[in-house]
Amino acid sequence: MSVLARVFSILQKTSRHTVCPKCSKFLQRCNYRVTSLSSGKWEPDGLNQPPEIPEYDELNIQIKGYDFPVLESYTTYVNKLANTLGIETNSYPVPGKASKVELFYPESEKVEHTYNLTKYERVIQIENVPSTLLPIFIDAMKLNAAPGIEVTIKKPDLVEEDDLYIPDEEMLAMRARVVELEERRQDLKKGKI
């Protein structure tokens, strides 16, 4: 008699509910395998625990584009997508980079049109993203990217952090003046002047 049939026969005797005769005959004919726990075999602890999933430390998602409203809308979408998937985000803008484009007449040096373009950029930092979730997030993000939007994902770079700050011309002029005064002072000490 199989283990399952024995269990059902005990339940039938002790319970006020009964198993129909057809079901009890079927259960007696079934040959279910005995599990390793009921046969006395030892199994190590932790077999029922989920596996550890590695996580990415910190990643920067750079979103660039020439059309500011489209860029802002897409950045909002990426933030909402990340929050929906349970990914923590931190986003910040990067100062726009202006460029000038000139179109010339064919076979001429005369300018036909001049365009002043500004490339806008937003950076979204994500941390501790499970490696199983990141490909899904990237696919959803890239599939829904608007035309004209560039998406780059990479590790944070200290050189790129310097681009976040707009240089203060007045402060740079003062630093240059301080360096000049220090050099002059050194020359006075040496007796050159």
Q: What is the CATH number of the domain that holds 161?
A: 3.30.70.600
Pair (20, 66) in one structural domain:
no
124 and 91 in contact (C-beta within 8 Å)?
A: yes
Pair (34, 59) in one structural domain:
no
Pair (30, 61) in one structural domain:
no
Pair (6, 62) in one structural domain:
no
Q: 97 lies in which domain range?
A: 55-166
Pair (6, 74) in one structural domain:
no
Pair (65, 120) in one structural domain:
yes
Pair (16, 98) in one structural domain:
no
Pair (77, 3) in one structural domain:
no
Q: How far is C-alpha 163 from the chain's CA centre?
A: 21
* pLDDT the model gives residue 33: 45
Q: What is the pLDDT along the chain (193 residues), one digit of tens a residue?
A: 566 666 666 666 665 556 677 766 665 565 444 444 455 567 777 778 887 888 888 999 999 999 999 999 999 999 999 999 999 999 988 888 999 999 999 988 899 999 999 999 999 999 989 999 999 999 999 899 999 999 999 998 877 776 666 677 888 888 899 999 999 888 888 876 6
* DSSP annotation string for 57-92: EEEEEEEEES-HHHHHHHHHHHHHHHHHTT-EEEEE
Residue 15 lies in a domain: yes
Place of tokens 């990643």: 59
Pair (29, 61) in one structural domain:
no
Pair (62, 24) in one structural domain:
no
d(C-alpha 134, C-alpha 58), whole Å: 12
* pLDDT the model gives residue 81: 94
Q: State how many domains the chain has.
A: 2
User: pTM above 0.85?
Assistant: no
C-alpha dihedral, 145 to 148 to 152 to 156, nearest 10°:
-110
